[in-house]
Chain A
C-alpha cells in the first residue's frame, strides 16, 4: 500500500474513533442526570405500571452498554427518540431546523471564504502598507467583539435606522429561495464578519511565511512576474495551510450559528439546543450535540486528509 493511502486511512480511522468516543460521552450525559429519568418525565404522581411501561419502552431495564448500542444504532438511522417535554419524535423536530442551520452556515461560508482568502492574500502582498494596517485593525476589533454585539450593531444600522432588512429572521418551508436569502441576510452577514476576521488573519500569516522561503525568492531571481511567483510558486504550497484555515473557520461557523440564531430568533438547531438546555430536555440536547460534534469532527478530518493530499512530499514518495 502506498504510504499516503496508509496515512489517509489512519486519519479516517482516527476520525471515526473520535466520533465514537464523543458519542459515548454524549450518551452518558443522560446517565449522569440526577434522579430517575422515568419519574422525572412522568412526574411524581405516575403509577408503578406506567413507570414500568416507560422503562420497558426505552429499554431502561437493560445494562448501560446495551442501551448505548441501541441508542447509537437508532441515531445512525436518524431516530433520536422522543422529546421529554412534549413526547414528539425528535427526528421530526430536528429535521427542518438542522436544514435551516446548515443553510445559514453555508450562506455565510459562501460569502466569507472567498472574501477572506482574497483579503488575506492582498494584506500579505501589500504588508505594512496602510491597507494592511487598516485591515488588521478592523479584524482585531471583529475578533474581540462578542457575536451579539456585532449582530445588534448590524440590526441597529440596517434594520432600525435604514430599514433595509428585517431584524427577525423568521423562515418556514413555504418561502422561496430569494425571500429566504433576504430574510437571513443579517444573521449571515454577522457570521461572515466574525469568520472573515479570523480566516483573513490566518491566511495572511500563512502567505507571509511562504513568501519568505528561498524558492519563492529564487522565482523572483529567475525573472518571473510577481503574479506568477504568487500563483505558480507560492499558492500550490499554501494549499495545506489554507485548507486548514478554511476548515477551522467552517467548523467555528457551525458553532457560532448558535448565538446568532438566538439573536435573530431564527428557527435553527442552535435555538432548539439552547431552549432544550433550559428545559433540561436531555434527548434533544444529545441529538443536537451529536449533530454539531459530528459536523465539527468530520470537517476537521476532511481538512486533515486534504492537506495530506496537497503535500508533494507525501504525494510523490522517494
Chain B
C-alpha cells in the first residue's frame, strides 16, 4: 500500500491534472441533482438567453438552462459510457483470458468471430445494428459493448499468451495447478497494468463513440441531457458567432461547450493512462 502512495506522490504534473479533471467531472456526475441550479429537461426561461445570472451558461433553443444540462449531461453520458466499458471489459477479458489459457478450438472459434466483427469498422457495424433495433439506450449499450469487447479480447488474449509462455507458468502446470488458479494467481497479477491502461483507453473510445452517435442523432434521445446531443442541438449557432461583443460571442460558442467537455474528459483520462503505462513499463525493469 505504501508503494502505491509513493507512486502517487511521484506522479508527474500531467497525471495530477488528469486526476483532478476526472474527479471534477465525476463529482458533477454523482451530485448532479444537488449542483444543478435547474431541472434537467424543464423549460425555465426565454430561448437563447445570454450568459448571465441566473442562467450562467445561457439557455438553449427551448429555454432550458445550459449549465444544468451540462451537469446532468455528465451524469448521463459518463454513466452510460462507464457501464458500457465495464460490460465490454468483462466480456472481452473473460473470453480473451480463457481463449489464451485453454487454446484449441475455444481459441480458434472465439478468435474467428472476433476477426469478423473487427473486419468491419465499429461505427458502420453499429449503424447497421441500430437500424434494426432502433435507438434505445439498452440497444446502444449492448451493441457498443459487444463491438468494443473485441479489442479487449485481442489485448487480453495477447497479454495472457505472453505470460503463459513464461517458465513460471510451466512450473505451476508441472505442479498440477488448476486452470483458474493459474489465471488468478499467475496471469492476472501480471496482466493488471496493461489491462487497467486498456480500460482507460476503451472508456475514452466508448465515450467518444456514444457522443458521436448522439451527435448523429442516433444515440441518446431527447429530452435526455447528453453532451453529444447538445452539440447537435446547438450546432447551427456557430455560424452566428460574432466577436464584436461578449454576449454575441458566447451565443455562437454554444456547441463548443459540450464538445469541449467531451474533449477535456478524454484528454484527462489519456493523461492518467499515459502515467499508468509509464509506471507499468518502469516496474518491468
Direct touching of A and B (C-beta under 8 Å): yes
Report the minimum CB–CB distance from A211 to chain B (whole Å).
18
Does A134 have its Cβ within 8 Å of any Cβ on chain B? no
Closest to B112 in A: A21
Closest to B242 in A: A160
Do residues B266 and A145 form an inter-chain contact, with CB atoms below 8 A?
Answer: yes
Do residues A156 and B238 form an inter-chain contact, with CB atoms below 8 A?
Answer: yes
A contact residues around B218 at 8 Å (CB)? 274, 277-278
B contact residues around A296 at 8 Å (CB)? 119-121, 124
Does B263 have its Cβ within 8 Å of any Cβ on chain A? yes
Count class of interface residues, chain A: 35 or more
A145-179 interface with B by 8 A CB criterion: 145-149, 152-153, 155-156, 159-161, 167
Task: Using known A-B contacts A21-B116, A29-B128, determine if residue A156 contacts B263 with beta carbons closer than 8 Å.
Answer: no
Do residues A292 and B270 form an inter-chain contact, with CB atoms below 8 A?
Answer: no
Do residues B121 and A278 form an inter-chain contact, with CB atoms below 8 A?
Answer: no
Task: Using known A-B contacts A26-B128, A152-B256, A167-B238, determine if residue A255 contacts B215 with beta carbons closer than 8 Å.
Answer: no
Count class of interface residues, chain B: 35 or more
Do residues A148 and B259 form an inter-chain contact, with CB atoms below 8 A?
Answer: yes
A277 to B212, CA, bound (A): 14
Do residues A161 and B243 form an inter-chain contact, with CB atoms below 8 A?
Answer: yes
Do residues A274 and B124 form an inter-chain contact, with CB atoms below 8 A?
Answer: no
Partner of B131, one of A29, A155, A160, A262: A29
Do residues A149 and B131 form an inter-chain contact, with CB atoms below 8 A?
Answer: no
Report the minimum CB–CB distance from A21 to chain B (whole Å).
5
A119 to B255, CA, bound (A): 31
A285 to B256, CA, bound (A): 30
Does B32 have its Cβ within 8 Å of any Cβ on chain A? no
Does A82 have its Cβ within 8 Å of any Cβ on chain B? no
Does B280 have its Cβ within 8 Å of any Cβ on chain A? no
A1-26 interface with B by 8 A CB criterion: 18, 21-22, 25-26
B contact residues around A22 at 8 Å (CB)? 116, 119-120
Does B36 have its Cβ within 8 Å of any Cβ on chain A? no
Does A230 have its Cβ within 8 Å of any Cβ on chain B? no
Do residues B127 and A262 form an inter-chain contact, with CB atoms below 8 A?
Answer: no
A296 to B92, CA, bound (A): 23
Report the minimum CB–CB distance from B182 to chain A (whole Å).
31
A266-301 interface with B by 8 A CB criterion: 273-274, 276-278, 280, 282, 285-286, 289, 292-293, 296-297, 300
A18 to B217, CA, bound (A): 30
Report the minimum CB–CB distance from B228 to chain A (whole Å).
8
Task: Using known A-B contacts A144-B266, A146-B262, A160-B252, determine if residue A259 contacts B212 with beta carbons closer than 8 Å.
Answer: yes
A contact residues around B125 at 8 Å (CB)? 289
A160 to B228, CA, bound (A): 22
Do residues A259 and B216 form an inter-chain contact, with CB atoms below 8 A?
Answer: yes
A38 to B249, CA, bound (A): 51
Does B260 have its Cβ within 8 Å of any Cβ on chain A? yes
A149 to B207, CA, bound (A): 14
A282 to B131, CA, bound (A): 7
Does A315 have its Cβ within 8 Å of any Cβ on chain B? no
Does A69 have its Cβ within 8 Å of any Cβ on chain B? no
Report the minimum CB–CB distance from B255 to chain A (whole Å).
6
Do residues A160 and B208 form an inter-chain contact, with CB atoms below 8 A?
Answer: no
For the complex of A and B, the 7 pairs showing the least CB-CB separation, nearest first, are: A149-B259, A144-B266, A255-B121, A144-B267, A145-B263, A293-B120, A292-B124
Binding site for B on A (CB under 8 A): 18, 21-22, 25-26, 29, 32-34, 140-141, 143-149, 152-153, 155-156, 159-161, 167, 251-252, 254-255, 258-259, 262-263, 273-274, 276-278, 280, 282, 285-286, 289, 292-293, 296-297, 300
User: What are 8 sample pairs from A and B whose C-beta atoms fall under 8 A apart?
Assistant: A145-B263, A146-B211, A159-B239, A161-B243, A258-B124, A289-B128, A296-B120, A297-B119
Contacts A145-B267, A273-B127 known; 16 new A-B pairs at CB < 8 A:
A25-B116, A140-B270, A140-B271, A143-B270, A148-B212, A149-B260, A149-B263, A155-B239, A156-B253, A160-B241, A259-B216, A262-B215, A274-B127, A274-B218, A277-B127, A289-B124
